[in-house]
Structure formats: structure tokens, C-alpha cells
Amino acid sequence: MAETIADIGEFGLIDRIHQLVKKRGVELPPSSLGIGDDTAFFSPRPGFELLLTCDCLVEGRHFLPEFISPFNLGRRAMSVNLSDIGAMGGLPLYALVSLGLKADMLVADVEAMYNGFLEELNPFKASIIGGNITKVKDATFIDITLIGQVKKGKIVLRSTAKPGDSILVTGFPGQAAAGLRLLQQSGVNAESKKDPLVRAFITPSHRAWEGSRVGNSGLATAMIDISDGLLGDLGHICQASGIGAELDQNKLPLSEDLKRFADEFELNPYELVLKESDDYELIITCKPEKEAELCSIITSTGKVPVSKIGKIVNKPGEIILKLVDGSQQRLTPSGWNHFTQ
Amino acid sequence: MAETIADIGEFGLIDRIHQLVKKRGVELPPSSLGIGDDTAFFSPRPGFELLLTCDCLVEGRHFLPEFISPFNLGRRAMSVNLSDIGAMGGLPLYALVSLGLKADMLVADVEAMYNGFLEELNPFKASIIGGNITKVKDATFIDITLIGQVKKGKIVLRSTAKPGDSILVTGFPGQAAAGLRLLQQSGVNAESKKDPLVRAFITPSHRAWEGSRVGNSGLATAMIDISDGLLGDLGHICQASGIGAELDQNKLPLSEDLKRFADEFELNPYELVLKESDDYELIITCKPEKEAELCSIITSTGKVPVSKIGKIVNKPGEIILKLVDGSQQRLTPSGWNHFTQ
């Protein structure tokens, strides 16, 4: 019979995780300590600031086990944190993984989840340095604290956008929400898994490589990652910077896949781009004269296109959408409010 | 009507927490950033190592709301993490607090919990620098990542105890487990709350001040905090250091309160001292000739006594208890296995 956590117990599981991380993860530098004592430790590198973020996925709230494999769940949980580190201009160093697991979970599934974490961390030579495991009855959770670093003076905040700045966005926001809707309708099967929209939901992007290059370039005036939707997070920039934004509808990046989806479901494709979606792209602002150079730095990773979608204006808190027909619409950056919706 | 989280929403709650932390917490140094961007950041201090730990309390597993107020729950959740930082010889710097909360929770109770976090952090001039909030349906959880620092070369590991070393323990392990049993029997009322054993359970100790002094002194050979019981965590030292231990029954620290409790419930008081209990004391090993000096350093905080309870022996994995009558008993450091019990 397949082994469960209850079969090997907490310390047995920790030992298995420890072995897996040692074998498949990158090696820790000698002046540091990973899993196995009261705390982990490391020697911070002089000349760098440390970035700290944590994000948690809860079963039934952020994921449904029937829609996502343990491996992809691990990738996803790490990606949402990588996205935050990238959005400050940094690169990840160390993760602490705190899990709430059910006793009947298969050990192989826990290991698959860790392989997912490492799949995302290894390219950065970042390691899992510690964590915690506790038993839960109802809903599994994966709570990751990620520590990153950025050269002193290279951090990019959300609160420093200025009127006149260009607004850039990476990739194609909206695809993940469309993918979720497709999954809810057709379920997970060989065909649905091939759909690019479904793939955008199951294995979401993160733009830590791009964010780090943006930070190093010193060319951006502000940056944020999208996790509350393009409009929601542009709203966070507006609020924190005390400015407003004007978006051009015909410049919003609309993938062919999203167009097809909008046609099929008779939805407004621009709304899909603007509203809540788990795409983890970046919104970046910069002076117009730096736009071309910044765009080429972003696309130099070869992973994602970037689009100029509008400009920052001196109207605190207002987001205006200039429609294709020349009219204007005022948008409300409501974002994704997890307790009232 | 009393305000719930659902009334003010996620961003409303984050704003309230932000205000509370700014007002009641210690001020962040200028080269750092707390709540409000994609990540927090700080400039690490040259000459120090950074310590990282995380520990999570889950409702129904680690606490029952009917036994503990939100304020004391906050203190407890922070104390278990402070204990780990202290057990490496360090002091805390920054906390990230990740919460899973139910929508009908009172905002005032969330604020009381944060006041509990700050009650424990403020004396160290440590701050809450970030976190995450997510909605849960069934069981509230409080997952804290705590970052500490320790001077280079002053970290005390659990894996470096040597045969011949003296074994010291702070305080009176076993009291919290007795307090929990009293609470389960009599419930929370004005009288039970006055009981020192109940207080030991509700507002557990941590020994971060003592641990930090031990680390700075350079006199300890190994250190661990007790969270799996005195025997369980001594077992961790034995396993990690590849040694064994001999304990003297008549030297085990037995408080008057625990004696009274053992009498009343007809229990073996020494078993209570050795077995699982949430006391968060420290086990420290040192060369016998450093014992007196180390004990006076520990007690110089004026907060807790320290007892020599035995010595490290060259019998890997064995823990022997020398009984008062001269006989010997071999103990099994099972600890507290959260998935199989």
C-alpha cells in the first residue's frame, strides 16, 4: 500500500524531506545551515539588502487538488513568492516552507510538492533552508517565506511612479482566469491540459529574472507584480505613489488564446485582461525616454514580451481607460478582496 | 455590532494592522521597509549571521480558543519562535506573520493578537516587517517566520555536545502540560487562571535573553530549546551530536506547584518533568569546568533558575536515568510525533 504521512510520522517525514532537499536542491554555502537545528542561518552578502516576503496557498481557497498535481502545486506556491521578490528588483536566496498537511496524505505527494519547489528555486541557485510541518484536519496549506537579495540602491518600490511615466506590462494578463474557467467547465483531462490558457493557470509565470534586470538597470521608476489583477495592482501603484493612470484600450496585450476564449464565451476580452487573474506578471513605470532601453532589457531574457499600455497622470487615484472609439471610461481598481467576496 | 473581518475586507484589515504596528511597534531603521510593498527589506548588519525559523499554531491542534485569549495567543505564537532564535544564541530582529483567519472573526480580536505579538517583540526592539492574510473556513492558523541575528562565530548548535559535558536545563519543564490538564478539567475561570501551572501553559516562557547571553559567552558546547519535552529534545541533541546522556533523577528541577499537581493526580512527578510539555526552556551542555560561570550568566537575567541534571556520555543515542534508589532506567526519547499520535 502507498505510504502515508501517518505511516512514517512527523520526524520520518522531515527526514525524507531533508534527504530530498540535500539530493535535488543546490548545495548551501559553507557559512550557512539548512534543515536540522532550532533555526537555519546564513551570512548575508555585504553590499546587498535582504528582501522578505511570504505568501500562502490554502486548499479550497487558492487551489483545488482535483485541478492541480502536487508537483505543479509546489511550483505554483513558490512562483507566487518568486514573483514578489522579482517585483522589488531582487533575486531569491532562501525559502522556508511551512506546511499544514493531512495525516492521510501520501508521502510521495509531499515529495512531489518539494520537487515542484526545487524546480522553481534551482535555476536561481536558491535553497530551502528550513520550515515547519503541522497536521491539519480539513484544508492543506502551503505557506512559504522567501528571502531574496538586491544590490543596495537598486530596489524598485511601488510608491515612486511620477506623472508622465510610461506604464509597461509583461506578458498577457487574464490568461490564468480564463484557464480556471475552462477547467471548471471541462475538468482536468488530456485535452484541457494542452490548452495554453489552462497551462497559464496551472503553471503560472513569474517574472523574477525580468524584475531583477529591471532593478539592476536603474531605469524603472516603480514596479509591482500582478496578483490582484492588472487593474487591482495598477491601483496599488496609484495609491502608493499618489498618482493616477491613463490606459489605452487598444494597447492592452491580448493573446490570440484569450481572444478565442472571449469569443467563445461572449465576454469582453479587455475586461479579462484588466480583472482578477493569477498571472504574476509585472507592471513597470519609467520615464518615456527610457522606455525603449527598458523594454529591450526585459525581453532580453527571451521569455516574455512587454507592452506599453498607458501613462501615469497627475490625478491621484483615478484610472481612465481610453476606448478604441475615442471615449473614456473611469475604472475602479477594486482588486481581489478575499474576505468580502 | 462588533466589527468582523468580513465587514472591513482584506485591505481594510491590512490597513488596520499596518496602523497598529506603526503605532505600537518599535520604529524601523531608515534603511528598511515594513508592510506595504511587494516585499519588506532591511540592511543586514556586518559581522552578524542571520537566523531563520518558522513555527505555526493551528486551532484545534496547538490551541483551543476557549482556553486562550487572542492577546495571549499572539504572545504564545511569538514566544515559540523567540525560543528557537534564543536556542541558537541569537536575538530576534524581524517577524513576518502569516495568518489564516475566518471571515467572522472580530477585528478587535485580530488587533489583540497583534498586541500580543508586539508585547513579546518590543522588549527586543524587534518589528513585524511583513506577512500575509488568507481566509480559512475551519481552523485559524498563525504562522510566524522570525529572523534573528547572532555575532559571527557565536552560534550554538545542537550537534556539538561532547562526552563528559554537563547538561543544564532552565526553569521547570513539565509545568505547561500540567496546566493544560488542569484547564481541561476545570475550564477557564478566574480561579484556574491564577494557578501558576495554568499560567505556564497560557503564557509560556521563552529564554531568548538567556540563550543570547549563553551564545555570547562562548561557554556552551550545545544548546536546544525544549518544544518536544525535555527527553524529546535531549534526544535531538544526542542524535545530532552522536552521543548519549545520563540524568540524575534527584537533580531534575521539580517545582512545588508540579509536586502538588503530581500528588493530587497521583502521577510520577519526574515523568511530568521529562515528557511532552510546552515550556520552551533551554537545554545547554558545557564543559564541567565552565558550569559555574555559565550558570551565573544564565541567572544574571533574573528571570529563571538553571539546574545541572546530568552529563553527556559516549553511548550514542542512549539516555539513562539514575533513580534516587541507585537503580538505572533506560529512557526512550520519543518526543512528540504529531502525525502518529
Average pLDDT for residues A170-190, to the nearest whole number? 90
Q: Which residues contact A124 (CB under 8 A, 6 or more apart)?
A: A82, A91, A92, A208
Residue B115 CA to residue B77 CA, distance in Å, equals 12
Under 8 Å between Cβ of B126 and B250: no
Beta-carbon separation of A157 and B33 below 8 A = yes
What is the structure's pLDDT at A337? Answer: 46
Give how far Cα B83 sits from Cα of A238, A340, B205, Å. 41, 36, 8
Tell me which residue in A55, A130, A132 faces B132 most closely, judged by beta carbons: A55
What is the structure's pLDDT at A224? Answer: 97
What is the structure's pLDDT at B334? Answer: 58
For residue A246, the SS3 value is strand
Q: Which residues in chain A are classed under CATH 3.30.1330.10?
A: 5-151
> B68: closest CA among B177, B206, B187, B228?
B187
Instruction: Kindly state whether A104 is in contact with chain B, defined as any CB-CB distance less than 8 angstroms.
Output: no
Which residue on chain B is closest to A225 by alpha carbon? B38
What is the structure's pLDDT at A339? Answer: 52
Backbone angles phi, psi at B212, to 5 degrees: -65, -40
* Model-level ipTM above the cut of 0.95: no
Nearest CA to CA, how far is A274 from chain B (Å)? 19
Residue A42 CA to residue B167 CA, distance in Å, equals 28
Give how far Cα B10 sits from Cα of A58, A225, B99, B102, B116, Å. 16, 18, 12, 11, 21
> B54: closest CA among B116, B139, B131, B120?
B131
Cα angle A128, A129, A131 (rounded to 5 degrees) comes to 90
Average pLDDT for residues A19-27, to the nearest whole number? 93
What is the structure's pLDDT at A67? Answer: 87
Which residue on chain A is closest to B334 by alpha carbon? A11
> A278: closest CA among A49, A2, A83?
A83
Chain A residues with CB under 8 Å of B135 CB are: 58, 61, 338-339
Chain B residues with CB under 8 Å of A137 CB are: 60, 138-139
What is the structure's pLDDT at B333? Answer: 64
Under 8 Å between Cβ of B287 and B221: yes
Chain B residues with CB under 8 Å of A103 CB are: 339
Helices A5-24 and A107-121, interaxial angle, to 10°? 20
Residue B123 CA to residue B79 CA, distance in Å, equals 12
Provide the 10 A C-beta neighbour count for residue A320: 16
Residues 212-271 of B with CB under 8 A from A: 223-225, 240
> A178: closest CA among A93, A101, A279?
A279
Give the pLDDT confidence of B141-185 residue by residue, as tens digits: 999 999 999 999 999 999 999 999 999 999 999 999 999 999 888
Residues 177-206 of A with CB under 8 A from B: none
Beta-carbon separation of A88 and B38 below 8 A = yes
Residues 13-32 of B with CB under 8 A from A: 13, 31
Chain B residues with CB under 8 Å of A141 CB are: 100, 134, 136, 141
Mutation choice for B interface testing from A8, A28, A41 by most B CBs within 10 A: A41
Provide the 10 A C-beta neighbour count for residue A18: 14
Residue A36 CA to residue B240 CA, distance in Å, equals 9
DSSP label of A126? -
What is the structure's pLDDT at A340? Answer: 47
Under 8 Å between Cβ of B157 and A37: yes
Residue A53 CA to residue A145 CA, distance in Å, equals 6
- pTM of the predicted model as reported, rounded to 2 decimal places: 0.93
Instruction: Kindly state whether B64 is in contact with chain A, defined as any CB-CB distance less than 8 angstroms.
Output: no
What is the structure's pLDDT at A335? Answer: 44
CATH homologous superfamily of domain A166-331?
Answer: PurM-like C-terminal domain (3.90.650.10)
Beta-carbon separation of A54 and B224 below 8 A = no
The matching CATH number, chosen from 1.25.40.10, 3.40.50.300, 3.30.1330.10, 3.40.50.720, for A5-151 is 3.30.1330.10
Strands (E), A64-211: 91-101, 127-135, 141-151, 166-170
Transcribe A66-102 into DSSP letters: TTS-HHHHHHHHHHHHHHHHHTTT-EEEEEEEEEEE-
Chain B residues with CB under 8 Å of A6 CB are: 339-340
Chain A residues with CB under 8 Å of B40 CB are: 51-53
Q: Which residues contact B338 (CB under 8 A, 6 or more apart)?
A: A10, A133, A134, A135, B61
Nearest CA to CA, how far is A98 from chain B (Å)? 7
Instruction: Kindly state whether A171 is in contact with chain B, defined as any CB-CB distance less than 8 angstroms.
Output: no
What is the structure's pLDDT at B31? Answer: 83
What is the structure's pLDDT at B341? Answer: 38
Chain B residues with CB under 8 Å of A100 CB are: 56, 58, 141
Cα angle A135, B279, B86 (rounded to 5 degrees) comes to 95
Beta-carbon separation of B240 and A41 below 8 A = no
Which residue on chain A is closest to B232 by alpha carbon? A11
Residues 113-142 of B with CB under 8 A from A: 129-139, 141
Tell me which residue in B8, B41, B52 faces A96 most closely, judged by beta carbons: B52
> B238: closest CA among B339, B336, B340, B335?
B335
Half-sphere CA count of A15, side-chain side, radius 13 A? 10
What percentage of chain B carries pLDDT values higher than 90?
82
In the block, cell 505543479 appears at A72
Residue A280 CA to residue A147 CA, distance in Å, equals 18
Nearest CA to CA, how far is A326 from chain B (Å)? 34
Tell me which residue in B31, B98, B155 faces A54 most closely, judged by beta carbons: B98
Chain B residues with CB under 8 Å of A58 CB are: 100, 134-136
The β-bridge partners of A182 are none
Chain A residues with CB under 8 Å of B159 CB are: 36-37
Give the pLDDT confidence of B292-334 residue by residue, as tens digits: 999 999 999 999 999 999 999 999 989 999 998 889 999 876 5
- CA B114, B118, B120, B121 dihedral sign is positive
Starting at the edge strand found earlier in the chain, the sheet holding B141-151 runs A40-42, B48-58, B141-151, B91-101, B127-135
What is the structure's pLDDT at A171? Answer: 96
Beta-carbon separation of A135 and B43 below 8 A = no
Tell me which residue in A60, A98, A129 faces B137 most closely, judged by beta carbons: A60
> B75: closest CA among B222, B204, B184?
B204
What's chain A's length in residues?
341
Q: Which residues contact A97 (CB under 8 A, 6 or more apart)?
A: A114, A117, A128, A130, A131, A132, A142, A143, A144
Under 8 Å between Cβ of B104 and B232: no
> A223: closest CA among A149, A168, A301?
A168
Q: Which residues contact A189 (CB under 8 A, 6 or more apart)?
A: none
Per-residue 3-state assignment (H helix, E strand, C coil) for chain B: CCCEHHHHHHHHHHHHHHHHHHHHCCCCCCCCECCCCCCEEECCCCCEEEEEEEEEEEECCCECCCCCCHHHHHHHHHHHHHHHHHCCCCEEEEEEEEEEECCCCEHHHHHHHHHHHHHHHHHHCCEEEEEEEEECCCCCEEEEEEEEEEECCCCCCCCCCCCCCEEEEECCCCHHHHHHHHHHHHCCCHHHHHCHHHHHHHCCCCCHHHHHHHHHHCCEEEEEECCCCHHHHHHHHHHHHCCEEEEEHHHCCCCHHHHHHHHHHCCCHHHHHHCCCCCCCEEEEECHHHHHHHHHHHHCCCCCCEEEEEEEECCCCCEEEECCCCCEEEECCCCCCCCCC
Beta-carbon separation of A39 and B134 below 8 A = no
Residue B283 CA to residue B278 CA, distance in Å, equals 14
Which residue on chain B is closest to A59 by alpha carbon? B136
Tell me which residue in B11, B13, B139 faces A138 most closely, judged by beta carbons: B139
Nearest CA to CA, how far is B32 from chain A (Å)? 9
Beta-carbon separation of B339 and A147 below 8 A = no
In single-letter form, the type of residue at position B107 comes to: V
Provide the 10 A C-beta neighbour count for residue A60: 15
Chain A residues with CB under 8 Å of B225 CB are: 38
Which residue on chain B is closest to A83 by alpha carbon? B38
Q: Which regions in chain B score pLDDT beneath 50?
A: 335-338, 340-341
Nearest CA to CA, how far is B266 from chain A (Å)? 31
Instruction: Kindly state whether A317 is in contact with chain B, defined as any CB-CB distance less than 8 angstroms.
Output: no
Classify strands B319-322 and B244-248 as parallel, antiparallel or unpaired.
parallel
Under 8 Å between Cβ of B152 and B51: no
Backbone angles phi, psi at A313, to 5 degrees: -125, 160
What is the structure's pLDDT at B198? Answer: 92
For residue A292, the SS3 value is helix
What is the structure's pLDDT at B277? Answer: 86
Per-residue cell: A176: 490564468
Q: Which residues in chain A are classed under CATH 3.90.650.10?
A: 166-331
Beta-carbon separation of A84 and B148 below 8 A = no
Beta-carbon separation of A138 and B138 below 8 A = yes
Tell me which residue in B36, B39, B84 faces A38 most closely, judged by beta carbons: B84
Beta-carbon separation of A49 and B36 below 8 A = no
